[in-house]
Amino acid sequence: MKVRNILVALLLGASSLGASAQASDVSFLSGSHCIVRMAEGSRYIMLPVQENAEICNIKVIAGNNLVRTIEVRLAVDNVDYYVPFDLSEYDGKKVLFDIHVNGNSRLTGGIKDHVCWRDMKYTDTVEINAGEPFRPVYHHAPEWGWMNDPNGMFYKDGVWHLYYQLNPYGSQWGNISWGHSTSKDLVNWTNEGVALVPDGHGMVFSGSSVVDKDNTAGFGKDAIVAFYTSAAESQTQSMAYSTDDGKTFTRYEGNPIIVADIPDFRDPHVFRHEQTGHWIMILAAGQEMRIYSSANLKDWTYESSFGKEYGSHAGVWECPDLFELPVEGTNEKKWVLVCNINPGGPFGGSATQYFTGTFDGHKFTCDTKPEVTKWMDYGKDHYAAVSFDNAPDGRRVMIAWMSNWQYANQVPTVQFRSANAIARDVYLFRDKGVDYVGSRPVAEMTAMRGDAVVSKKATLGRLSVKNMFKAPSGAYEIDLAMAPQDGATVKMMLSNQKGEYVTIVYDGNMGTLSFDRRQGGDKSFSELFPAVTTAPVHGKLTSLRIFVDKSSVEVFGNDGRAVMTNLVFPAEPYNTLTINSDKKTTVSSLKVYPLIKK
Ligand code: FRU
């Protein structure tokens, strides 16, 4: 085949991204194959993406060696957004992309006219579109690209480390790596870049990290040891360690450390079991959880399995966790086994179920009948919840991915997709002899409060608070204390001037709290998105905290006994609150605080 070389001048949109107009040097090798030689001197090449384009397989070749393979939906006829590819680590080497475009382009005239060749551009800084209407104000979200599960979370020396499933090269799932963010307060996060990229064993699926205080693995005192699933044709467990507090990782040379002949075999969660002095790993294997033990974090012994016939089995079990908590109001402690499940959640798709019981360092024993199913959050958008290792002051802090596999790839954001729910301190409470997990927004959230813009007391009838914000930011907390009469139904509505609204209803007869987002805004992207979710309240509803951000509402009833996390996509922020009750209900305090990122 005759090789044609073209140089395409960059004109379109280059200035808006602060990118330099340089030429792309493309050589077409067939109707579906080309090479692009990278220009020298810039840190990033910005790759134009079209969400519904075919995937292109890109081999990154530096100094004649294959150094990466990535998949990018390079734009065919229009550019939805750009993703940066960092060229700096190949400094001094000639870099080229060997690109194969999937699909039938070869039959339909080839790839030469695809706009991506013209629109690739070079830059030294990546600009984030902070103006995206659904980009959260105070929730953790990737600056660009796709995010799912939180991973490898640990606390050390005053810093909370959060890793997460990341596609740096598009806003849909793929190229799964671990992104890394840090925070001193669980609210304001700093992007630390990508910590783990796919290697010869596959993509880097979910997992956990521990702080190895006693150097049991021999990587050094206080080394951070991360466990993850290597996902390629099969799923195996791998480890990596960091001696610079989680910034950079070295892969363990003996990977994979655990293998099995099971297709869904993933998401290792490791913790120190103080009572036996061993490390424990809990791992999802199909529809059960497997427990392993180790003295040195490298060699693992199978101990037991949990799950057969327990709880919901309507989907695959994923992202486990296992920890002990005191039962508030008693002198007892219980173990909580967290089992995220997809599909099979109470309102369809993904959700977080859990079991309470005992754990002796070898075996988890559930304290309820097999048919009992408990959910940590009764919204539609709370998944892959796991906890931090080494949290201070006996805290058990969890973060969940705020989406649902039913529509996560379709939600109407552009340069990024998905945020995490606000961090929560979990605790156990006992109701009618049964133990449940409650979730409180971390106390650090309170420091985000600006001065209350609404402060009222009322006896309902009807209370309507219009225009909650002079300058609507769409990021606020409603804090409410009330005393409903027995059997009262209290209805709260958050609405905007476009006629969009969500309702939160307390039904005193049923003892439930529900959230209805069917009229909440854009729902066109998935017929599975409109929903009413319902949570048991465990007692009369006396307090409610509602966290609203640009595209989410998180409801915490009765100090975290009834929790619902739901996404919403309103055309403009809800700025009106209406509350009414069919029986006498005293609102002793209603406060609305703007939440301001420090
Ligand atoms: C859960 C999950 C995990 C897996 C990861 C892949 O959302 O399916 O089980 O490790 O996502 O991104």
Pocket test for ligand 1, best of 164, 177, 205, 402 (most atoms within 8 A of CB): 205
Compute, in angstroms, the gap from residue 164 CA to the centroid of ligand 1: 10
> Considering the chain, what is the average pLDDT of its residues?
94
pLDDT digits (tens, 9 = 90+) for 182-191: 999 999 999 9
Does residue 54 carry a pLDDT above 80? yes
pTM of the model: 0.95
- Choose among 227, 226, 232: nearest CA to 248: 226
- pLDDT band (50, 70, 90) for residue 93: very high
- Choose among 8, 14, 5: nearest CA to 121: 14
The arithmetic mean of pLDDT across residues 71-82, rounded, is 96
Dihedral over Cα of 215, 218, 219, 224: its sign: negative
Place of tokens 């339909």: 108
Does residue 16 carry a pLDDT above 60? no
The arithmetic mean of pLDDT across residues 231-248, rounded, is 98
pLDDT digits (tens, 9 = 90+) for 190-232: 999 999 999 999 999 999 999 999 999 999 999 999 999 999 9
Q: What is the pLDDT of residue 20?
A: 54
- 206 Cα nearest atom in ligand 1: 10
The arithmetic mean of pLDDT across residues 135-158, rounded, is 97
- Choose among 348, 353, 380: nearest CA to 517: 380
pLDDT digits (tens, 9 = 90+) for 351-390: 999 999 999 999 999 999 999 999 999 999 999 999 999 9
Secondary element (H or E) of residue 284: strand 278-285
Does residue 517 carry a pLDDT above 80? yes
Where is average pLDDT lowest: 96-105, 173-182, 363-372? 96-105
Place of tokens 């602060």: 18
149 is catalytic: yes
Strand 512-516 and strand 532-536: the pairing is antiparallel
pLDDT digits (tens, 9 = 90+) for 275-299: 999 999 999 999 999 999 999 999 9
Q: What is the pLDDT of residue 19?
A: 54
Find the distance separating the first CA and the last CA of the chain, reported in whole Å. 59
Higher pLDDT, 68 or 473: 68
Strand locations in 73-222, DSSP E? 81-86, 95-101, 121-123, 145-156, 159-167, 177-183, 189-196, 203-212
Does residue 169 carry a pLDDT above 80? yes
C-alpha 311 chain-centroid distance: 24
* Measured distance CA(576)–CA(478) in Å, rounded: 12
Strand 416-417 and strand 145-156: the pairing is parallel
Are 177 and 203 spatial neighbours (Cβ–Cβ below 8 Å)?
yes
The token pair at 462 is 């009807």
Higher pLDDT, 256 or 12: 256
pLDDT digits (tens, 9 = 90+) for 427-459: 999 999 999 999 999 999 999 999 998 888 988
Are 33 and 11 spatial neighbours (Cβ–Cβ below 8 Å)?
no
pLDDT digits (tens, 9 = 90+) for 461-508: 777 888 777 655 799 999 999 999 999 999 999 999 999 999 999 999
- pLDDT band (50, 70, 90) for residue 12: very low
- Choose among 188, 199, 36, 189: nearest CA to 119: 36
* Measured distance CA(452)–CA(468) in Å, rounded: 10
Q: What is the pLDDT of residue 463?
A: 79
Q: One of 77, 86, 119, 149 is an active-site residue; which one? A: 149
Q: What is the pLDDT of residue 466?
A: 80
Q: What is the pLDDT of residue 52?
A: 96
- 176 Cα nearest atom in ligand 1: 12
* Measured distance CA(164)–CA(345) in Å, rounded: 22
* Measured distance CA(515)–CA(154) in Å, rounded: 32
- Choose among 420, 339, 326: nearest CA to 375: 339
Determine if ligand 1 sits within 6 Å of the CB of residue 176: yes
Q: Where does residue 529 fall: left (phi above 0), alpha (psi -120 to 50 degrees), or beta otherwise?
A: alpha
Whole-number CA gyration radius for the chain: 25
Q: What is the pLDDT of residue 408?
A: 98
- 284 Cα nearest atom in ligand 1: 9
- Choose among 87, 241, 71, 232: nearest CA to 152: 241
Name the burial class of residue 185, with classes exposed (0-12), middle (13-18) and buried (19+) by CB atoms within 10 angstroms of its CB.
Answer: middle
